[in-house]
Amino acid sequence: MRKETVFANGVIHSLEREGERFAAMLVGADGRIRELYPTGAPLPAGVAIVDLGGAAVVPAFIDAHAHFMSKAALDALAVNLSRLEDGRIVPDSLEAVREALEARGAASAGPIIGFGLCLGAVAERRLPRASELDAWFPRRPVIVLSMDGHSSSYSTPALRKLGVGSMADDGVLSGEAHEFNMGKITAFVMRGLGPGVLARGLSAAVEEAAASGIVSIHCLEGTEDAPTDPAVAAFKLVGGRLGLRLKLWMQYTDLARASRHAGALERRRVGGCLAWEMDGSVSSRTAAFDVDYLDRPDAGRPYRTPDEALALVRPFYEAGWQTSAHAIGPRGIESILSAYERLMDADGDDGNSRRLRIDHFEFPRPDQIVRAGERRLVLPVQPGFAWMDEKFVHTYEEALAPAVRAAQCPLRSLLDAGCVVALSTDAPVQPLDPFVQIAGAVRHPERSERISVYEALRAYSWAGAYAAFEERDRGTLAVGKYADFAALDADPFAADPDTLHEIRVTGTWHEGRPLTAPPPGLAGFAARAAATPRRRL
């Protein structure tokens, strides 16, 4: 039986109020905080004591936008083609990409899959073509996914198996040709996930989250351009038994199809990326801007007009669902923002009672910032993208004029306008490392858009809880709330802002208990899952 526990000898930042901190915390048998103690206050006798060793403690992190099943599958089956090494991102050439794929191919006789390739890091500034993949790996199916997840390339055998050769330019898919065929690609990848491989990938994903101080992830999953959706099926089977609080967002555009899964959800949610995308990405040159890219006479175009976005959202809105949509450029943002405005205004909802979301919201116009704030929209953003690019890659400056880049992820303006800004990683696009995003928020390339450490931490805890209607129970450390917290190897409030990305988590507790990953082996994984009470998603 669980007992009351005091977590003592820490620097506990509650994030309830700026500057509020405590030295100890009493957690009840139900996992909720019973009391918080200032320095020098007497502690209760007769309870278990956990010595925090002077560590800084913050509320555990909530990642508001990730693709969990894709991450688990890729961790298990593919090679990551992007890593930070000696101040640069590698691999940095197509020859180095070939070597990494070759090592993966030698480990398995199945398809060779690489993900996360940073196009700005490789000297050639592009994906490998089918002609190159065929020469490197004759007769092998090969798939390479870009870091942003908006373009991909394939060997000829892979194109044949997927049936997408007619849409590819020498094996490369980009924009809608990539976006709206991800169901076929996902189904192909998932066929390689036997139970043992899936268990290994899921265990690795949970272990990375726990090592990063994350206790909850909003998971944008599923595709509907294929007859079956193995990713959502697997998620429903095990997602509620992994220890993490996983929130399922189905990327379905059909209300009837989404409704068939509603019983597994804690709250009806739909949307995200893929078929819910209003435009593409900068690195694929498919984000929809008002002016042309610097390196081509093209501004990108929205995947959906405002009227088409309205037609997409309306059935779900009228049925009471919470919705989310990907939008990067101002014309993509306009499609979904205007759709939300029309529905909310007709309904008299000026406080965003559904907590509707626009994910990324990366390059808004000033008027769009004001309008999003007036409706208190929830905006899961990734400031780590801009920070990483400025520090290591320098690709945005190749594509976008300085005035356009200055509008990227305008955090200070968004908060001041009244938007709910929730930090996230978009994993597997970036690793599940909150401090990359926190560093990106505090050291934003545009100085006027930087936010404080306090605001950034709350955006990674309280805002994620608010986005899931859980702010009364989670997101800050207060009496009555669950004891979800992370211990750190440095105090972010005392650290040099330029070293925030180096902070590491030394322990993660969920409802007062240490969060650990299931064993990677199938038998141990199954036993842990069976012993874990199922949570609704």
Q: Is residue 155 one of the residues assigned to a domain?
A: yes
Q: How many domains does the chain have?
A: 1
What pLDDT score does 1 carry?
A: 52
Mean pLDDT estimate for the chain: 93
What's the CA gap between 228 and 226, in Å, rounded?
A: 6
CB 376 within 8 A of CB 418: yes
CB neighbour class for 87 (10 Å; exposed up to 12, middle 13-18, buried from 19): exposed
Q: Is residue 367 one of the residues assigned to a domain?
A: no
Q: Is residue 327 one of the residues assigned to a domain?
A: no
For 487-536, give the DSSP string. Answer: EESS-TTTS-GGGGGG--EEEEEETTEE--PPPSSHHHHHHHHHHSPPPP
Q: Is residue 534 one of the residues assigned to a domain?
A: no
Q: Is residue 212 one of the residues assigned to a domain?
A: no
Q: Is residue 438 one of the residues assigned to a domain?
A: no
Give me 482's structure tokens: 């669950």
CATH number at residue 149: 3.10.310.70
Residues counted in the chain = 537
Q: Is residue 34 one of the residues assigned to a domain?
A: no
What pLDDT score does 195 carry?
A: 85
10-residue mean pLDDT series, the chain (537 residues): 89 98 97 97 94 98 96 88 81 94 88 89 92 95 87 92 85 82 74 83 95 98 82 90 96 95 95 95 93 95 97 98 98 98 96 97 98 98 88 85 95 98 93 95 96 98 98 98 98 97 97 94 90 90
Residue 119 belongs to what domain range? 73-176
Q: Is residue 215 one of the residues assigned to a domain?
A: no
What pTM, to 2 d.p., does this model score? 0.94
